[in-house]
Amino acid sequence: MIGSAALAPAQPVESLLSQAHQTYADGVIGLQDVVFAQIQDFHPLKADLYVPTRSRGADPVVIWVHGGGWGAGSPREGDGGPYGSWPQVLAKLAARGHVVMAINYRFSGEARFPAQIQDLKAAVRWIRSNAMQYGADPATVILWGQSAGGYQVALAGTACNLPAFEPAVPVAGPAIPGMAVVHVDPKQSSCVQGVVDWFGPIEFARMDAQSAPNAMMKHDLPTGPESKLLGCALPACSPALLEQANPISYVRATTPPFLIMQGTADRAVPIQQSEALYQALRAQGIAARLVEVSGADHMFAGASPKVIGQLIDRVFAWIDHPGGSGEETIAADTGTVMAKP
């Protein structure tokens, strides 16, 4: 079920101003530490919301998923280049007419795969269930993530209606003492309408073979982030588990549009990972665009602030109107297009 009425009581977006909030430019407010899932024997999962108070009443949703190798990170971290802090970036996106939700999720040291994708899908279901409260359109949810978060949004985008990845524990029910009940309609869909993948790993088993000699890490080792996520050193993981964890395994003709961006000199995630995902999507006729930043490292390190700003602007424009296909390479220093589709 996509786009149905919200479970939580409706209220005008302006009423959110009575809650503790941060104020951003262009009429955007920030609500921190909103609980979207209560998991037994684990602390509540929380999100920051960026809500345009000049809401049209049905603003598309964007969910941001941070990176950190599934072992660290925060939705408030990151450098927004010319935009300043990452919360400022997300507030800028909200000002364009989107309800933006930046989530936390369980790390690999707390729970192994597929807990992380289940947490993301719980967030999708929660925002749909509570759409009216925040002036959101439950029919349109777009995901944007970087690195480990890029992997999660790619997997969530391709694995629609897969029971193994749906939240395995109740995300609604008795309130934790001192907290309000988390309103979630289990009938709401966890499928999404678009994905922005920034340099996410895709095919774990191929990463070391594709890595450059100056790679930041060995993924196959038990200490590698992907090995920690799956709970086994990658060479010892079963083929079935590796296939289950691979977003390409689920690409179908019904997969939503993708925008993929990565630096060609990425020393943490080989560029071939993004290229393989792009090729798999196009083979199924999916609208997908791949933008490679020539010479840029992981997190687009080495790209100029001008280029970082251009990349963010392109993400914003794509989120406004998802779609389009093709490949291009841009210069990390100037943003000049070096190759076109």
Q: Residues 6 or more apart from 223 whose CB is under 8 A from it?
A: none
Percent share of the chain, pLDDT over 90: 79
pLDDT of residue 173: 47
Residue spans of the domains in the chain: they are: 13-339
Residue type, 12: P
Segment 321-326 mean pLDDT = 96
Q: How many beta carbons lie within 10 A of that of residue 193, not counting itself?
A: 17
pLDDT of residue 177: 44
Q: Residues 6 or more apart from 150 whose CB is under 8 A from it?
A: 65, 67, 197, 198, 199, 200, 201
pLDDT of residue 269: 98
pLDDT of residue 12: 55
| pTM over 0.75, yes/no | yes
SS3 99: strand
pLDDT at 142 over 50: yes
Q: Phi, psi (5° rounding) for residue 137? A: -95, 110
Mean pLDDT of the chain: 90
For 189-224, the pLDDT digits (tens) are 999 999 999 999 999 999 999 999 999 999 999 999
Instruction: Please give the sequence-ordered ranges of beta strands (E in DSSP) within 257-309, or none if there are none.
Output: 258-263, 288-294
Q: How many beta carbons lie within 10 A of that of residue 215, not counting itself?
A: 16
pLDDT of residue 54: 79
- Cα–Cα distance measured from residue 118 to residue 42, given in angstroms and rounded to the nearest whole number: 14
Q: Residues 6 or more apart from 116 whose CB is under 8 A from it?
A: 70, 105, 106, 108, 152, 229
Q: Phi, psi (5° rounding) for residue 249? A: -60, -20
Class of domain 13-339: alpha beta
